A = this chain, B = another copy of it.
């Protein structure tokens, strides 16, 4: 999708917040904000929002001379989510609809925004999980179920560290042997890379590949040829998180987006309020509905 004019103040705010997250130097914060203002005054808005975020985070990493400033936060988030997996796995197997429960847990990982807020506690994570378990996903959950039944080759595009540990549970339900999990090709923000996929044990249950890009989304033109080939060949793509939605929602293919709606621009586009847990193709091909509350 194109970036909206409404995205611009949000990009500037993100640059400032990310600058503060990785550096205590106010002069650096100001430099980065001013550079972003100048760059955005000329920027091509046909680019999707993750393309702007990619630029912001490349600049920040260069400015602080640290290629992976969110590494410690990512390790912490992975471990926190991993600690809950045995309990959550039992919950799924005892559920009367294991796929639905696993979907809700996977979106819980996306709902708790570990991106900016490094100080997520275990009780925050548990709160997000409880909310997601009680929160029917909106969009095309039944079409998703049919797509999963019919798929031979599933590409699962992960989003953030921490969240990726909960993705393990959904990949298990999908039957890992037909699933390839794709992660970012290099660190950006707290997005999951190969290191995170390994840390949460995904390599033991599915193929794991890098997409070759350092965008916090999936900008196909920026991804490796190998990733693009897998994307084209998969008969079902599951893309986690709003960044993947923003960068892939204009692409053809059988793509289901699983994400929490986090801003007004996306809320307006999907026609659901901020906070909604979505599981949908774009555009929708079946009437929008919610899962049963049960």
CA distance A30 to B13 in the complex (A): 18
Contact across chains for B29 and A8 when beta carbons are under 8 A apart: no
Q: Which B residues are in CB contact (< 8 Å) with A37?
A: 8, 37-38, 40-41
Q: Which B residues are in CB contact (< 8 Å) with A9?
A: 9-10, 12-13, 16
A5 contact from B5, B16, B38, B40, Cβ within 8 A: B16
Is A33 in the interface zone, CB < 8 Å from B?
yes
Q: Which residue of B lies closest to A10 (CB)?
A: B9
CA distance A13 to B40 in the complex (A): 14
Q: Could you tell me the distance in whole angstroms from the C-beta of A213 to the nearest C-beta in chain B?
A: 26
A41 contact from B6, B16, B29, B38, Cβ within 8 A: B38
Interface residues of A in 31-70 (CB under 8 A from B): 33-35, 37-38, 40-42, 45
Q: Which residue of B lies closest to A15 (CB)?
A: B9
Q: Which residue of B lies closest to A40 (CB)?
A: B37
Q: Which B residues are in CB contact (< 8 Å) with A8?
A: 12, 16, 33, 37
Q: Which B residues are in CB contact (< 8 Å) with A6?
A: 13, 16
Q: Which B residues are in CB contact (< 8 Å) with A34?
A: 40-42
User: Could you give, for residues 1-31 of chain A, a 1 whenever the CB lies within 8 Å of some chain B CB and a 0 otherwise?
Assistant: 0000110111011001000000000100110
Q: Which residue of B lies closest to A37 (CB)?
A: B41
Q: Could you tell me the distance in whole angstroms from the C-beta of A222 to the nearest C-beta in chain B?
A: 24
Q: Which B residues are in CB contact (< 8 Å) with A10?
A: 9
User: Could you give, for residues 197-211 of chain A, a 1 whenever the CB lies within 8 Å of some chain B CB and a 0 otherwise?
Assistant: 000000000000000
Q: Could you tell me the distance in whole angstroms from the C-beta of A164 to the nearest C-beta in chain B?
A: 30
Q: Which B residues are in CB contact (< 8 Å) with A42?
A: 34
CA distance A33 to B9 in the complex (A): 10
Q: Which residue of B lies closest to A42 (CB)?
A: B34
CA distance A42 to B42 in the complex (A): 15
CA distance A265 to B215 in the complex (A): 31
Q: Could you tell me the distance in whole angstroms from the C-beta of A45 to the nearest C-beta in chain B?
A: 8
Q: Could you tell me the distance in whole angstroms from the C-beta of A122 to the nearest C-beta in chain B?
A: 28
CA distance A16 to B12 in the complex (A): 14
CA distance A38 to B39 in the complex (A): 8
CA distance A278 to B128 in the complex (A): 36
For the complex with contacts A5-B33, A37-B38, 8 further pairs of A-B residues with Cβ separation under 8 Å are A5-B16, A6-B16, A8-B16, A9-B13, A34-B41, A34-B42, A37-B40, A41-B41
User: Lowest 5 A-B CB distances belong to which pairs?
Assistant: A37-B41, A38-B41, A9-B13, A9-B9, A9-B12
